[in-house]
Amino acid sequence: MRIGSEEHKELFCRSFLSSHLEYDPPELPWPHLTEAELARLRAIPVWTMALQTELNAGVMVNGFAESQPDWLIRQAIRLQGYEEDRHARMIGYLSQRYGLDAQPTEPTLRPERRAFIDFGYAECVDSFLGFGVFRLAREIEFLPDALISLFARVMIEEARHIVFFVNWIAYERARRGYGAPLLQALPTAIGYVRALAKNVGRAKAVDQKEMGFAAAGEVFGDVTLPSFLRTCLEANESYMAAFDPRLLRPQVIPHIARFALLLMGQRKKSPKARTIPHNA
């Protein structure tokens, strides 16, 4: 299959559309939490930022979808917008139910191509790290599994979003005549640099708030950078194994992580990844 062909477009759009999960956040089996568990959940300092990110994404992605001339691509990006909105509803419901006090403002992201591309690369970075944090949180039992497991569907959706994005952007560039690997390399590098720079800014913002990472730090205290990166890589491989082998996958961040492990002399061959199916 040639990247940029009709066949490629059909595959990345239709596999995205057909793997959509049906659920409504308030209908999920939200568990009762003890006071200690509530305190731990409330000490995580990211709720407002997480909710704001999803709200911004929902509005921007939905708006951007409407600018797409191709019917199939429009349907797929609309579906992503719906899923981002639902992530916002998921965090909003969590915040309301457990008193997390997330206080977002009006979404301001404009529904433009530049914003969609920036968001796509940012999702590639965030999802890779998120897969690792999610797996560790489950292993360490940072919170009851009855709560953490509700977010497994969100992780699967983010995996679908980033696979859709890297295929969409490669398809777009190929259609515009910039499909050659070298012509793709520069805008891809710029995209990741912008995403990483944004992450550094966000980390500083959280740091400045000096909120309770201490609680998380105690529980995640044994996790070293190499073990975290290995967990991210293994989790990422499990999510990526569920996709059609003809589809492109995000490569840059996993390559950087492998390279970092190599520099630290820490790269162990990971066992064959367990596939996380889209309906897990």
Q: At closest approach, how far in Å is the CB of 12 from Fe ion?
A: 15
87 binds Fe ion (CB under 5 A): yes
Least Cβ distance, residue 16 to Fe ion (angstroms): 11
161 vs 230 by CB, closer to Fe ion: 161
**Among residues 84, 230, 236, 249, which is the contact residue for Fe ion, using CB under 5 A?**
84
Closer residue to Fe ion, CB minimum distance, 55 or 174: 55
CA distance 150 to 25: 9
- Answer yes or no whether residue 173 interacts with Fe ion by CB under 5 A: no
Q: In angstroms, give the least distance from the CB of 135 to Fe ion.
A: 18
What is the distance between the terminal CA atoms of the chain, rounded to a whole angstrom? Answer: 28
Return the percent helix, strand and coil in the chain, to nearest 5. 70, 0, 30
Q: Give long-range contacts, CB 8 A cutoff, 24+ apart: 116-120.
A: 116/60, 116/61, 116/64, 116/77, 117/169, 117/191, 118/191, 118/194, 118/195, 118/198, 119/57, 119/60, 119/61, 120/161, 120/162, 120/165, 120/166, 120/168, 120/169, 120/191
Work out how close the CB of 160 gets to Fe ion at its nearest, in angstroms, rounded to a whole number. 8
Q: Judged by CB under 5 A, does residue 237 bind Fe ion?
A: no
The smaller minimum CB distance to Fe ion, of residues 153 and 161, is found at 161
Decide whether 54 or 237 has the Cβ nearer to Fe ion.
Answer: 54
Structure tokens at 202: 């966000």
- Rank residues 4 and 53 by Cβ distance to Fe ion and give the closer one: 53
* Per CB under 5 A, 160 contacts Fe ion: no
Closest to Fe ion by CB, 84 or 237: 84
Give the nearest distance from C-beta 161 to Fe ion in angstroms.
4
Spatial distance between the Cα atoms of 169 and 77, rounded to a whole number of angstroms = 12
CB 123 to Fe ion: min, Å: 5
Contacts with Fe ion by CB under 5 A: the residue count is 5
Q: CB of residue 114 vs Fe ion: minimum separation in angstroms?
A: 17
Q: Is the CB of 4 or the CB of 250 nearer to Fe ion? A: 250
CA distance 154 to 147: 13
| Stretch near Fe ion under the rule CB under 5 A, chosen from 85-93, 178-186, 229-237, 243-251 | 85-93
Query: Which DSSP symbol is given to 46?
Result: T
Question: Out of 40, 135, 161, 173, which residue is the one contacting Fe ion (CB under 5 A)?
Answer: 161
By CB under 5 A, is residue 153 in contact with Fe ion? no
**DSSP reduced 3-state for 63:** helix
DSSP for residue 69: -
Candidates 20-28, 50-58, 230-238, 250-258; binding stretch for Fe ion (CB under 5 A): 50-58
Q: Does 135 bind Fe ion (CB under 5 A)?
A: no
C-alpha torsion sign, points 214, 218, 224, 230: negative
Contact criterion met (CB below 8 Å) for 177 and 261:
no
Closer to Fe ion by Cβ: residue 9 or 87: 87
Q: What is the DSSP string of 221-268?
A: TT--HHHHHHHHHHHHHHHHTTS-TTS----HHHHHHHHHHHHTT--P
Q: Name the site residues for Fe ion (rule: CB under 5 A).
A: 54, 84, 87, 158, 161
